[in-house]
Structure 1
Amino acid sequence: MTSMRAPEFRQIRHQDQIDTELSGELIDCWVKVSNAGGAVGFPFPPVTVEQVTPAAEQLIANLHPDRSRVVLAMVDGVLAGWLNVRRDPHPLVAHWGTVHHVQSHPTFRGRGIGAALMNHARRVAREEMGLEQLHLAARSGMGLEHCYGRLGFKEIGRRPGALRLSASDDRDEILMMLAPL
């Protein structure tokens, strides 16, 4: 049984801050969330560790304090969820960032881990990265726009039929924004 304690948060700002064990936990979470139907970058479950590992390695290799951070939610030392906050350094858009791969481990679902993680990421984006806005893209048909809406995000547009999950299942990509932070 998992603890009912509130999560503790940790940031990974550089690839040297993540060891093999933590990398494995992140990959395991990504596999389990994907295979539970989570919209976290792998649309065709089931996925394997071998499929997820290259994406995780790329994400980790691109970590940089100013441009890309992983925010972890830990409960009793166990990874309960994570997300990635990124910014483009180009001066025209450097005032806003994007949130990617928001996920809570299926073992910890229903405990507010995702909302707590998003609220913590909001503080990180504002106070540490100096961002003024956060953007994200969500897959339609999953109710994600309502979850993010409860956290203050507003729908700012859609890309109709942009995501093809199968020959008969095209989904909109919902563009959302949170401002001010």
Structure 2
Amino acid sequence: MTLTCELDPLVDEVVREQILALWADVSNAGGAVGFVPPVTPEEIVPDLDAALAAVADGRRRLVVGRDEDGRVAATAFIAYNAHRLMRHWVWVYTVMVHPRYQGRGYGRALMTAVEQAARSFDGIEAIRLTCRGGTGADAFYSACGYKEVGRVPAAIRVTPTDDRDDITLYLPLT
């Protein structure tokens, strides 16, 4: 099975609902994408709507990965920097691969598509992203060529007794 990635797909109601379902499934499987399980799709809607509004007004781009049936199986949002001194690099947010496809190369394919997209943007020289410590995501991103450039200890409070590091990773494109 392969993942077919697309930059800036048409986001109709079907795609929106598939992204929402993906986000809920990833979150409820323990994925570090802004929520702690259990979470309902209704709780995710405000974050999804804000991300899609940023795509609609050109502040973010969306990479969607589809499975062999054409369903959304993976996503990543690429955000431009508004600050005049930081417009030469982009942020990557909400990187998700459906749990049923994890371990099959979909994550690597998605990150390759993100890198290809960023390389196609005028003037972009690097990609930055953050991840939650203790999940293994930093090792995955390192395997994709990203280097850890910062870590804030205990910056993410998952539960009152579970604080995690906020890890920043960087991929130069030049």
Q: Name the CA distance, whole Å, in 2 between partners of 1:64 and 1:18.
A: 9
Q: Name the CA distance, whole Å, in 1 between partners of 2:128 and 2:105.
A: 21
Give the structure-2-normalised TM-score: 0.94
Which residue of 1 is the match for residue 37 of structure 2?
45
Letter in 2 for 1:166: T
Contact 1:161–1:170 (8 Å) recurs in 2:
yes
Partner of 2:139: helix, strand, or coil?
helix
Which residue of 1 is the match for residue 4 of structure 2?
8
Gaps of 5+ in 1: none
* 1:91 positional shift: 1.9
Contact 1:66–1:129 (8 Å) recurs in 2:
no
Letter in 2 for 1:117: L
Contact 2:74–2:97 (8 Å) recurs in 1:
yes
Letter in 2 for 1:151: C
Q: Name the CA distance, whole Å, in 1 between partners of 2:11 and 2:74.
A: 15
Which residue of 1 is the match for residue 83 of structure 2?
90
Letter in 1 for 2:64: L
- CA 1:64/1:50 → structure 2, altered by over 3 Å: closer, same or farther? closer
Give the structure-1-normalised TM-score: 0.90
Partner of 2:55: helix, strand, or coil?
coil
Contact 2:63–2:114 (8 Å) recurs in 1:
yes
139, 152, 173: which is aligned to 2:132? Answer: 139
Q: Name the CA distance, whole Å, in 1 between partners of 2:123 and 2:14.
A: 31
Q: Name the CA distance, whole Å, in 2 between partners of 1:156 and 1:96.
A: 14
39, 42, 46: which is aligned to 1:54? Answer: 46
* 1:145 positional shift: 1.1
* 1:108 positional shift: 1.5
Letter in 1 for 2:33: V
Partner of 2:66: helix, strand, or coil?
strand
Structure 1 ranges of 4+ moved more than 4 A:
none
Gaps of 5+ in 2: none
Q: Name the CA distance, whole Å, in 2 between partners of 1:130 and 1:86.
A: 14
* 1:67 positional shift: 2.9
Q: Deviations over 1:5-34 (max 9, x none)?
A: x21111227xxx311111000000000000
55, 60, 69: which is aligned to 2:61? Answer: 69
Q: Identity rate of aligned residues, in percent?
A: 36
Contact 2:119–2:173 (8 Å) recurs in 1:
no
Which residue of 2 is the match for residue 168 of structure 1?
161
Q: Name the CA distance, whole Å, in 1 between partners of 2:24 and 2:128.
A: 24
Partner of 1:45: helix, strand, or coil?
coil
Does structure 1 residue 36 correspond to structure 2 residue 32?
A: no
